[in-house]
A and B are shown apart, each in its own frame.
Chain A
Amino acid sequence: MLEVRYRTARALPLGRPETTAPDRSGILIRPADAEARLTLRVRDPGRSAADLLLDRPINTVAGDEGRWIARLGPDEWLIGTAEYEADALAATIAADLAGKAHALVDISHRNVGIDLSGAHAAIALNAGCPLDLGEAGFPEGSATRTLLGKAEIVLIRRPGPSPRYRVECWRSFATYVHGFLQEAAFGVGHGE
């Protein structure tokens, strides 16, 4: 039987992440591994679903790297989790929100993640992202949809003191976004 195995044989547009050294700017740009993602839309969510907090402020992220939930708008959340947990998580969320009008859509393959870290990571992001990424403007735990050059992205600043960001974009924009970030790291220059 000709068969490929769903969720274990994903061909990622940027390939599987490799361990790379940071470039001269000290910025490490690394395509994320295959992940599951769900978009949740619900108007009156209550406090949480499947232990994911829904009542956090707009443009913040909760959770950890293994499972996170970013509130992108008044009735929109982006959820990331490990591949193998996706189906169970979706079922739990749906059960917890039963009776409430909502949409829970699997967009694991729509989104591509790129992780960015390094002391000057925010400067590199600002090559194309017009937001104020300073400590006050975009503290750890922030998450928002925005732009990077000519592509739309979701930008997440991971909790923790050292600057670590996740850039999420649509699959077909991944090559552009990845290339843009690499050029941006070059543009940061040294001595900064």
Chain B
Amino acid sequence: MLLIACPYCGNRPETEFRCGGQAHIARPADPTALDDDAWSAHLFVRANPRGIHAERWCHAHGCGRWFNALRDTVSDRFLETYPVGAQPSRSIETEARA
């Protein structure tokens, strides 16, 4: 069971959380402006990296807040967690190469 650092509550066990998939995919301001391919890419196409992945998590059975996390999908190590709307302190690409 993972131990996840909620930005508001600190380290909490995985069972209190819900994972929301890839982070930093903003809903288009005007979806009607997107053609079908662009819209389907927004809806369905997600990264599945071997390595550092930016993910959305919700501390559902805690403070109820959504936040983002960088997780290494190989080791399950969390590099950092940060609030919605913020950017991670490190570049995902740099970490993946390291």
Contacts and interface: CB of A to CB of B under 8 A. Distances in A.
Q: Is chain B in direct contact with chain A in the complex (CB below 8 A)?
A: yes
Interface of A: 58-59, 72-74, 76, 130-131, 144-147, 152
Interface of B: 1, 8-9, 12-13, 15-16, 61-65
B8 A58 contact: yes
Consensus secondary structure, chain A interface: strand
Nearest to A59: B9
B12 A58 contact: no
A58 B9 contact: yes
Q: Point out which of B1, B61, B65 has the most chain A C-beta atoms below 10 A from its C-beta.
A: B61
B50 to A, nearest CB: 29
A83 B64 CA distance: 27
16 contacts: A58-B63, A73-B8, A73-B62, A73-B63, A73-B64, A74-B65, A76-B63, A130-B13, A130-B15, A131-B13, A144-B9, A145-B61, A145-B62, A145-B63, A146-B62, A147-B61
A76 B9 CA distance: 13
B64 A145 contact: yes
